[in-house]
Chain A
Amino acid sequence: MQSPWRTTLLAAGVLALFLTPSLEAQENGRITGVVTESGSGGPVSEAQVYLPDQALGGLSRANGRYLIINVPPGTYTVRAERIGLGSAEQEVTVGAGETVTADFVLEELALGLDEIVVTGTAGAARRREIGNSIAQINVTELPDKPVQMVDLLQGAAPGLDLSATGGELGVAPAIRLRGNSSVSMSNNPIIYIDGVRMRSEPLAHVAAPDNRGIRGSNTSKTPLNSINPNDIERIEIIKGSAATTLYGTEASAGVIQIFTKRGSVGAPQWTLESQQGAVWSRKFGNYPDSPFPYLRMEPFIKTGHNQYYIASVRGGLENLQYFVSGAFSDQEGYLPNEYSDEWVTRGNFTFTPLPNFQIQWNTSYSSESAQQLSQSNAQGLGHNVYRGKANYFTDDSPDVIAASVLAFDIRHTIDRFTTGGTFTYTPLADLTNRLTIGYDWLQQDSRNLRPFGFRFRPRGALLNHHWQNRLITFDYVGTYSFDLMDGLRSNFSWGGQAVGDDEHTVEAWGEGFPGAEEPTVNSAAATQGFEERQKVWNAGFFFQNVFDINNKYFITGGVRVDGNSAFGEGFGLQVYPKISGSWVLSDEDFWDPGMGSLKLRAAWGRSGRAPGAFDAVRTWEAAGLNDLPAFLPQNLGNPDLGPEVTTETELGFDASFIDDRVAIDFTFYHQLTTDALFAVLQIPSNGFQTSQLENIGELKNEGFEVSINTTPYRSANYEWNLGLNVSTNKSEVLDLGGAQPFQASQGTWIVEGEPVPVVRDDYVSNPDEIADPIRERNHIYGPNFPTHNIGPSTSLRLPGGIYISAAGEFKGGHFLRDSNVHPGGISRGGKMPLCWPYYEDKANNTNITLLDSTPALWRARCTPSLIDSGYLTWDADFFRLRSLSAQVPVDFAFPDRISSALLTLALNNSYTWKRMPYLDPEMRGNQGGQDLAQAIAARNPTPISFRASLRIQF
């Protein structure tokens, strides 16, 4: 196919040329000035300053300065605005060749009650109208934008939890909004970008068929990293069914909507940025008396170098505006065989051919080439390093391990093309129609090669894995507003949505190469092919009405009706209702404006989650045996299968006090999932041994979220901000529907009365006794996911525009099992540093005899025939300093033509406090967030990273 990115770039370049205003005519004037924030007097960057009636405008730079050129003589209204701040207008008169100064002061809107949000609402709504909580991340405001989207989302909002899955590059984290509300289906929220549904599940896991599931990197790449954080204007997050009703069957895990930057009226404004950085590993083997601070990984750990380059331009005329960007990143991990080179391009165009008709068309293309390390399997680095001589070649020499394992070559090429347009037609002032169509195409082409002579497969083996996912979005919404009576206005909305999800995998496998040349699959002596195809359509329509009473009281009612191709015969259309209300208390007459602002809100709603494409049907696998077909039982089937339905109630308030210096957002939520889909393990003697989904369970999820932002001090030169996000989540299995407790994944369980999921495993009931261990089966340790997240942050603005910020994250209340780092080594008769204090003879590498004084727990942990993962279950509380950054304006070092130059130094994940004595709580294996549960695996912890970037604007 013709490379779509080339087409995009070409079009963007041509348009940029056409849209660039001609050289400033001598007779025209200029408008310039500084945009500052009212409270502190500090500069405001990226504020749009424009002449509403003219095709003229510009963006403010980091120092707050803006410039509008080519202004014909005359008198104009000039407006300045930015998300999170109010707008301001001034009237100016420009003479021929004259430069007029107009400074703007924008007020910080702690609550932003009149700010427009669109996620979870029909059409768009002001914040004051919305009865549910909606988190908004104003990315433009962030002083230090990370290179990767997942880093941007980390700890960004209360109730949003990203659990990193090891320190490898680009690995998908588990993303949770308000915890796990499903046992069997994905708990990843669905994601939209500019109204177009994009894949939010991790990319396909690539593993060779000779041991399906584990011969590879054992990670999945995240679909989020194809988005350049610098392209994003804001992110809206709705977290539960009270808010996601209008998204229907696929939305009970929440919705994240990303809005990218749009063009602005005015001359082209360029931004260029260069980043250089490094990543390295923290110590994770802090065992007493052990010489292995990195658990024998020392010879393989290095400092990885990263570089990142960004260029963007935005501008436009009155009827057509553009934002075009490109970015290139080149990253190395801190372990061998890990790199990623990625291009991301974007072109966003806003076309207004008629006053009442607008087209917004956004397109992005990204391409990543990556290499991954083989991990968490017998032919991977971790297993063979951590286990010492109990590895798979009984040799712990680094040279032998490197020669044996690092030849395993896993490479991916990941391409993504996302395009979509929103057509907004407003035939009448009170009637708006909006149609969005979108297409998200994601392809992963992988080669998983063990070359000829590979230690574990001497004849060599190659898997070519070709995976594609296409998502098609159709979304229409109409809104008609009218006055029912004096003081009572009605906004009636209607609409429909259809999302088609088409996924297919084609694999070619070959083994037995004739020699050491670079092979293809057809070089192999034996070849096989595999194919999987799966298509799911979900479509629905909805109605919603908002009653607006005196602009203070708002009541919203709505209903969504859904169909899904995965529903069984017994289910037809699903109906999801919602109702919510908000009361802007501070607009009441009795409210003293000096007390600040306060909005109370309450919401109730339902949404669902569909089963998989094949779950309702009894199926057999067409397998084979010696070149002849054979059938094996596959899926028991359940014709009555339907979606699980989550009903959520939210109560909360948004408030600001003390001259908007303190802003508080509080939400309590209670979710009840009925008809919960449980993968009920079948009785083996009935023949079908895979689990079968049944709508039998009931789950509860509740907690609160608080976001507090304060400004203890501010003046013209100094400002100190403090922020705190706190969220709790308590989940519980209320009813198993008659099923027995069952294993979820990673050794966790679904047990009535316990969290979703709970760590349940073997336990030593006499841990400190100097005696043989007493084994207690099925001991309940506790929740597997954090029950409370605390995210403190602070920032300091100093004279000269210097800005220092820090953000941390505490996660607690959860437990993680060490699934295979220590148990794997110990059960194989290896000597692990964990047990060093208890070995009778430490020097001897293989003789495992424990001291007589060894307590029972450690006897269980260190004896090969007794070891069980349960004995290595840790309280996983930890705090990590996620970011520490400083920004220094360096305009002085550049010619005047450069309007802004900013140097940023950032250190990420530099400090960690953790309760578990060994390893690292983010050293996890869950194959990229797909699993319900998580456990410590033979991977590596999140790296510490340092970045220095220089951003210039002109």
Chain B
Amino acid sequence: MTTTNRRLTAVALLLAAFAGACEVTNPGPVQDRFLDDETSHAALVRGAERMVLETANFVFYTTSIVTRVLFPGGDTNSHSPRIQGGSLPPEDVNGDWNNVQQALFIANSALERGVTGENLAQAHIWAGYTYRILGENWCEWLEGAGAPQPPSAALDNAEQHFTAALGAAANSTQSNAAYAGRAQVRVAKGDWGGALSDAAQVPPNFVFEVRPDPDFEATRSRVGWANADEPYRQFTLLFTFFGEQAPPNIRSLLPLEASDLPVTIPGTGYYAESGDPRVAWHRIPDQPFANASLQGFGQVPWSNFTWLDPETPIHLGTGTEMLLYRAEGMLRDGNYPGAMELINQVRSMYISDNTGEPLAPWDAMSLEAAWTALKTERMIEGLLEGRRLVDLRRWAADGSPGEAPFPAWEELSPLFAEAPTATCFPIAENEVNRNPNLGG
């Protein structure tokens, strides 16, 4: 070997050693190709479950505020003043949109990677529930950076996934979850025949839920956390259907001091009257107010649900909801006695905190009264389950009779009067700004 060759070899070896020195494998993040391995599929499908949980977590809380099931306390950690007032501007709903899109992406990614068996059915179920949430709650939607589509397209996709899940179901939990989801979708689409058929398949005591994981802050129930005084006290039950009603002189008392707090007026407020454990609430003397103030109102007297905490599971589909669908189907056929029987069957499943007996049945002497009972019962039974926004919208659309409880709060704060109350979510600003199909 000549001297020149030896030098070139030395330089080559030096460069090779140098390049080798830069090779580093860092632990931690999982490379994408690893997910093609079948052993990863269960965890991938569970990723979809987690994001469905996070989606429901935020969307159901937000819709509870907008539909006046919860009275806002002024704290802005979860909701802007605009949302507290009832509107859903695109710039304030980025988190809800991001979550629902990621849930959709993971479920579809799992299906594209060829998951099989129980994982296949479960992936379809998560995809189905995600499309259901999109179709029920968004004014228009899209996926994969595509163009906007009407809610009905999301509902169609949901229906297909639930049907596929039924074909692949490995156990009764999966099939019941798929039937319940498909019934919800069909109701939203107005396919009452199909919906009632599916609803009939679900046992009354069936509950399909996602469970928060206390180890992960993002999965903790937001509404549970907001309720828990750790440290948030973001909403109150005062002025709601369930809680204490405002005394007649409430305006003259504003802003409230602790001594002005309205005392419980016997016989007012649904919980005081019924003892319904589904809406049980109380007041903690040491914490008279929610942890901020509301514009034009001041500090908000605080009361919270006794049963709700950050680890409370979130229901996605239940047998009791199916009973109420069946009741609504009867009302649509004019059979209000039959409907009341089913509504009261649901009520009889709960023991009153006042009497220790099953809840007293609703009475309805007319079709309209029965509709009112149904609408009220759906609000109670579907409390914090993301059912109310779609219910209000479809009832408004079909002009069904009866009153859906919707407290008038406009007098209490200009927040409730400044913007029209939203009936659905817009596509979020994050998507609008970046998606070329939306001019982004």
Binding partners A and B:
yes
Chain A residues within 8 Å of B, Cβ to Cβ: 209-212, 378-379, 389-394, 455-458, 496, 498, 526, 528, 531-539, 541, 563-565, 567, 573, 613-614, 617-635, 637, 681-689, 740, 824, 827-830, 844-849, 863-865
Structural contact, B431 and A683, CB atoms closer than 8 A: yes
CA distance A564 to B23 in the complex (A): 8
Contacts of B290 in A (CB 8 A): 394
Structural contact, B440 and A740, CB atoms closer than 8 A: yes
CA distance A227 to B297 in the complex (A): 54
Structural contact, B29 and A621, CB atoms closer than 8 A: yes
B211-229 residues with Cβ-Cβ distance < 8 A to A are 211, 213-217, 219
Smallest beta-carbon distance B13→chain A, Å: 13
CA distance A391 to B428 in the complex (A): 29
Contacts of B104 in A (CB 8 A): 685, 687
CA distance A813 to B255 in the complex (A): 43
Which of A389, A526, A528, A631 gathers the greatest number of chain B CB atoms within 10 Å? A631
Structural contact, A685 and B435, CB atoms closer than 8 A: yes
Structural contact, A389 and B299, CB atoms closer than 8 A: yes
Structural contact, B29 and A614, CB atoms closer than 8 A: yes
Q: Which 3 pairs between the two chains have the least Cβ-Cβ distance?
A: A829-B293, A687-B105, A846-B298
Structural contact, A379 and B231, CB atoms closer than 8 A: yes
CA distance A618 to B35 in the complex (A): 11
Smallest beta-carbon distance A716→chain B, Å: 59
* B24 at the A interface (CB under 8 A): yes
Structural contact, A390 and B293, CB atoms closer than 8 A: yes
Contacts of A624 in B (CB 8 A): 213, 215-216
Which of A378, A394, A457 gathers the greatest number of chain B CB atoms within 10 Å? A394
Can you spell out 22 A-B residue pairs with CB atoms less than 8 angstroms apart? A379-B231, A392-B231, A498-B18, A526-B215, A533-B28, A535-B26, A617-B29, A625-B50, A633-B102, A684-B101, A685-B101, A685-B142, A685-B143, A686-B145, A689-B102, A824-B76, A829-B292, A829-B295, A830-B293, A847-B298, A848-B295, A865-B85
Smallest beta-carbon distance A398→chain B, Å: 18
Contacts of A829 in B (CB 8 A): 74, 292-295, 297-299
Smallest beta-carbon distance A493→chain B, Å: 17
Contacts of B80 in A (CB 8 A): 827
CA distance A620 to B414 in the complex (A): 45
Inter-chain CB contacts under 8 Å: number? 230
Structural contact, A847 and B255, CB atoms closer than 8 A: yes
Within 8 Å by CB of A681, from B43, B213, B434, lies B434
Chain A residue at smallest Cβ distance from B142: A685
Contacts of B217 in A (CB 8 A): 209-212
Contacts of B440 in A (CB 8 A): 683, 740
Smallest beta-carbon distance B108→chain A, Å: 8
Q: Digit string of B1-36 for contact with A (CB within 8 Å is 1, else 0)? A: 000000000000010001101111011111110110
Q: How many residues of B contact A (CB 8 A)?
A: 81
CA distance A563 to B17 in the complex (A): 11
Structural contact, B105 and A828, CB atoms closer than 8 A: no
Contacts of A844 in B (CB 8 A): 255
Structural contact, A621 and B30, CB atoms closer than 8 A: yes
Chain B residues within 8 Å of A, Cβ to Cβ: 14, 18-19, 21-24, 26-32, 34-35, 40, 42-44, 46-47, 49-51, 53, 74-77, 80-82, 85, 94, 97-98, 101-102, 104-106, 109, 142-146, 211, 213-217, 219, 230-232, 254-255, 289-299, 414-415, 418, 428, 430-431, 433-435, 440
CA distance A168 to B143 in the complex (A): 46
Contacts of B81 in A (CB 8 A): 827, 864-865
Structural contact, B293 and A613, CB atoms closer than 8 A: no
Smallest beta-carbon distance A601→chain B, Å: 33
Structural contact, B82 and A622, CB atoms closer than 8 A: no
CA distance A528 to B214 in the complex (A): 10
Within 8 Å by CB of B106, from A614, A635, A687, A864, lies A687
Smallest beta-carbon distance B73→chain A, Å: 9
Structural contact, B431 and A848, CB atoms closer than 8 A: no
CA distance A626 to B14 in the complex (A): 51
Within 8 Å by CB of A539, from B22, B254, B255, lies B22
Contacts of A538 in B (CB 8 A): 22
Chain B residue at smallest Cβ distance from A567: B22
Structural contact, B102 and A533, CB atoms closer than 8 A: no
**Known pairs A623-B50, A685-B431. 8 more at Cβ < 8 A?**
A390-B74, A532-B28, A539-B21, A565-B23, A685-B101, A686-B144, A830-B292, A847-B254
Contacts of B293 in A (CB 8 A): 389-390, 394, 828-830, 846, 848, 864
Structural contact, B231 and A631, CB atoms closer than 8 A: no
Smallest beta-carbon distance A827→chain B, Å: 5
Smallest beta-carbon distance B89→chain A, Å: 11
CA distance A945 to B342 in the complex (A): 76
Within 8 Å by CB of B292, from A211, A390, A632, A863, lies A390
CA distance A684 to B435 in the complex (A): 9
Smallest beta-carbon distance B139→chain A, Å: 16
Within 8 Å by CB of A565, from B22, B74, B76, B232, lies B22
Given known pairs A389-B299, A537-B21, the reply for A631 and B144 (CB within 8 Å) is no
Smallest beta-carbon distance A506→chain B, Å: 12
Contacts of A567 in B (CB 8 A): 22
Given known pairs A635-B29, A683-B435, A686-B145, the reply for A625 and B97 (CB within 8 Å) is no
Smallest beta-carbon distance B297→chain A, Å: 8
CA distance A934 to B147 in the complex (A): 36
Which of B21, B44, B82 gathers the greatest number of chain A CB atoms within 10 Å? B21
Within 8 Å by CB of A619, from B14, B32, B76, B428, lies B32
Chain B residue at smallest Cβ distance from A629: B43
CA distance A830 to B116 in the complex (A): 55
Contacts of B291 in A (CB 8 A): 391-394
CA distance A379 to B230 in the complex (A): 10
Contacts of B98 in A (CB 8 A): 684, 689
Chain B residue at smallest Cβ distance from A211: B217
Smallest beta-carbon distance B10→chain A, Å: 13
Within 8 Å by CB of A625, from B14, B77, B219, B431, lies B219
Smallest beta-carbon distance A825→chain B, Å: 9
Chain B residue at smallest Cβ distance from A395: B289
CA distance A480 to B313 in the complex (A): 74
Contacts of B51 in A (CB 8 A): 632
Structural contact, A740 and B296, CB atoms closer than 8 A: no
Contacts of B231 in A (CB 8 A): 378-379, 392-393, 455-457
Structural contact, A618 and B31, CB atoms closer than 8 A: yes
CA distance A682 to B431 in the complex (A): 9
